[in-house]
Every structure is written in structure tokens, then in C-alpha cells.
Amino acid sequence: MAADLILGKEVAEEVFVDLRKRIDALKAAGTLPGLAVILVGEDPASQVYVRNKVRKCEELGMRSVKIEMPASTTQEELLAKVAELNADPAIHGFLVQLPLPKHIDEKAVINAIDPAKDADCFHPVNVGKMLIGEPDFLPATPAGVMEMLKRRGIQTAGKHAVVIGRSNIVGKPMAAILMQRGVDATVTVANSRTENLPEITRTADILIAAVGKPGFVTADMVKDGAVVIDVGTNRIDDPSSPKGSRLVGDVDFEAVKEKASWITPVPGGVGPMTICMLMANAVRAAERASR
């Protein structure tokens, strides 16, 4: 029997019901939650992501600020804009859309963001707080995965979770969250070079793929009844598509869905949750600032 689908849009709408109540409460108390996004350059994918973030802010009734800077922007100019947003009391959270042009040091820019306004949760202070189990914010994509598991009643306590991928954006924070008290999973972190990887992934009750390789997880790597979360977003050529290409995940969806108990599709799975949890971080920042 094919797996049940965990659809990001459905889970996100459940989260938005709660967020709208919290936003209304903030407005009633005189605080309009504000989220800003800095976009440097004209990367097409980044433009789409930023446009979606701005639209969702407006739909939720939050203040949205989009700051577009040319690809020729110097690091000093970008750091000055970050400092400006740090000092703006009307902006409760903000992010600098990655990737940045090659001449700009991403690490320096992330480190310059006020941790209290770090909507992406990339600042080392926020990463450290997450690791010790005392987070102010959580990175949006891993937080979205946790919401999907929680809201679909998928048990994590005592379960073996295997995370394929070790990026600072998904793999590492995903593992850190899964091992916290209250989540209580037993966590293995693997990567594309892990020896005997199929043997390891076949032990997973919860398998999270964030390796950035289309179709990397095949059916023989998944045990019957596993929960499979596909974080990958890969564009591949497809002459049959009007655009000549299409999005696929890191999981061979058609084959794996016949073995899994739950699975996320690509597109339509984890993707919508990332923006959802970014909004949650902005609301959280506004609540903290208004105390």
C-alpha cells in the first residue's frame, strides 16, 4: 500500500491559524510584526523565494520590507544595511537572502546580524542556543520538518532517525533538534560518502534526505513502514515539461512511496514549510521585542 502524503501546504495552513491569532494579539497591543528581506543581485531562484516571502507576510497582515541591492554591492555597503536594520525598531526580524555574490563574505554578513532579529537562525549565537536546547529561534527548514512530524502524529521518541546531509542550513540543525529532550530520537548523520549507506538507512524509522542529489534515495535504501522526509529540491531536464525541466527531490518518490508509511513529495512537501516557519520566527521575534 502506498504511503500517506505529508503535504507542506496543509501543515503550513494549520500553523498559520495559530500565527494569525498571535499576530492579532500583537497588533491589539500596539505592535505590528515586521520582517525584512535583503536581496543582493538578480539570482532568479532567490527572486522567487523573496517574492513568496513578501507575499506571505502581506497575507498574514505583517509589515513586509524588501530591500533590493545590485550585484555590485560591496561588503561594506551590505554590512551598513544590516546595521541599519539591526537598529530599526519597526523591523523585528530580517534575513539576507543567500547565496550572495562571490565577492561578499557570507559568514561576515551572518555574524553581523543581531541574534534577536536573526529570522533565519544562522547566527552562531542562535545555532549554539539550539544545540544546547535553549533556542530563541529554529532554522526554518528543520523546524518545518518537525512541525510536519508533530502535526501528523509521527512519534520520534525512541525512534532511529537517519539524516543524510550535513549542511549548516538543514543537516546539522536537523540532527541537533531531533536529539533534544522532548524529541528523544536516536540520530545518525550520514552523507553521500558514508560507507555501507544503504545498510544504515534501512535501519531508519525516520529517514530525512537533504543531500542535494536527485533520486539519491532508492527503494532498496528504505525499510518497510519508514517515514521518509525529502528536503531535496533539484531541477532536472525534462523535455516533456513546458519549461523543459522539473523539480524533483533527493528521493526516488515513485518507488519509495510503495515502501514508506509517510512521505513528502517534491514539490509540495517540505518547501511550503520553510516560509511558514520563517514567518513563525518573525512573530516570535516581535513577541520577544514587545515584552
Indicate if 53 belongs to the active site. yes
Indicate if 75 belongs to the active site. no
- CA atoms of 141 and 146, how far apart (whole Å): 9
**3-class SS string, the chain:** CCCEECCHHHHHHHHHHHHHHHHHHHHHCCCCCEEEEEEECCCHHHHHHHHHHHHHHHHHCCEEEEEEECCCCCHHHHHHHHHHHHHCCCCCEEEECCCCCCCCCHHHHHHHCCHHHECCCCCHHHHHHHHCCCCCCCCHHHHHHHHHHHHCCCCCCCCEEEEECCCCCCHHHHHHHHCCCCCCCEEEEECCCCCCHHHHHCCCCEEEECCCCCCCECHHHCCCCCEEEECCCEEEECCCCCCCEEEECCECHHHHCCCCCEECCCCCCCHHHHHHHHHHHHHHHHHHHCC
The active-site residue out of 118, 120, 205, 230 is 120
Indicate if 120 belongs to the active site. yes
The active-site residue out of 53, 117, 172, 257 is 53
The active-site residue out of 97, 118, 230, 252 is 97
Residues recognised as catalytic: 53, 97, 120
